[in-house]
Amino acid sequence: MSSRPAPAATRRERRQAERAEAADRRVRGTDARRRPRLGLGAISLVAVLLGFAVVAFAMLTGSRAAPAPAAAVAVARLPGSVASSGMTLGGADAPVTIELYEDFQCPACRLWRETVFPSLLANEVADGTVRVVFRDMAFLGDESVVAGRAAAAAAEQGRFWDYWSTLYANQGHEENAGAFTTERLTSMASELGLDVDRFASSMRSPTADATLVETRAAAARLGIDSTPSLVVDGRVLPGVVPYADLSAAIAAAAGR
């Protein structure tokens, strides 16, 4: 039995099919235009709303960002029990006086304190041959000045040399970069057991600034323009003088 071909569509049926297809295309096109798209404005709005949600959650739960901890300070007390008064170390009747011109931000001054001073302290200062008088140059910037004020405040409580040593133990790697802020200087005083209220009051006193002016004038008269500089019996020894050379200069001054 043979199959018969499907009858051809009439003109009317073809028109109906074309109208149905055109209507279907219009429906699909309308759906595409109305489909929501997440543009940049909508993304920003969503981000803002999410941000508000996070903040609100933090407020409701009591969440707080922890404050950054203050940098710890090191304490470096002088060893032994050598007599001291104010900014002077050693006996008042010592035959040789060394004037020590320094700046607390000076790396060479810290080096002198670490390498030469211990031998000087253990020998000539301890046996009564030398007394050391500190002179604050404070010429390397604002933190040098405020550190000098702090050292003067410690001297008023009889703790200058412990504070002097502690300042060098906390010296920064760069000048005026936050090593000697008022907060850290006060922390050093507290760690050394000083009366912090009295310390703060002394730091505001103009006495330290007046002493700085006098020291700079004395340095100019001696031709001192760098730190550390030691003056031994009127003789200026600039730089980190080796202990052997310093000891020889002391012996020469004591023998006169």
What single string gives the DSSP state of each residue in 171-231?
--SSTTSSTT-HHHHHHHHHHTT--HHHHHHHHTSTHHHHHHHHHHHHHHHHT--SSSEEE
User: 83-129, pLDDT tens digit by residue?
Assistant: 999 999 999 999 999 999 999 999 999 999 999 999 999 999 999 99
Diameter of the chain measured on Cα atoms: 147
Asked if 144 and 105 touch (Cβ cutoff 8 Å), the reply is yes
Residue 34 pLDDT level (bands cut at 50, 70, 90): very low
Spatial CB neighbours of 221, under 8 Å, sequence gap ≥ 6: none
Domains and CATH numbers, the chain: 84-254 (3.40.30.10)
Q: Which helix (H) or strand (E) holds 118?
A: helix 117-120
| Percent with pLDDT over 90 in the chain | 66
Q: Say which range, 57-66, 109-118, 160-169, 170-179, has the weakest mean pLDDT.
A: 57-66
Give me the torsion for CA of 227, 193, 189, 243, rounded to 10°.
Answer: 10
Among 238, 233, 235, 217, smallest CA distance to 139 is for: 217
Grouping H, G, I as helix, E, B as strand and the rest as coil, residue 96 is strand
Q: How far apart are the C-alpha atoms of 175 and 145, rounded to whole Å? A: 12
pLDDT at 18: 61
- What distance in Å separates the CA atoms of residue 43 and residue 46, rounded to the nearest whole number? 5
State the residue for tokens 């006086």.
97
User: For residue 242, is the peptide bond before it cis, meaning its omega torsion is within 30 degrees of 0?
Assistant: no
Question: How much is the mean pLDDT over the chain?
Answer: 80
Torsion of the alpha carbons at 218, 96, 131 and 241, rounded to the nearest 10: 70
Q: In whole angstroms, what is the distance from residue 83 CA to residue 68 CA?
A: 40
The pLDDT-based confidence of 7 (bands split at 50, 70, 90) is: very low
Average pLDDT in the 238-247 region? 97
**Can you say how many angstroms the Cα of residue 78 is from the centroid of all Cα atoms in its chain?**
24
Global model pTM greater than 0.85? no
192-235 per-position pLDDT tens digit: 999 999 999 999 988 888 888 999 999 999 999 999 999 998 99
More confident residue, 199 or 39: 199
Model pLDDT, residue 79: 87
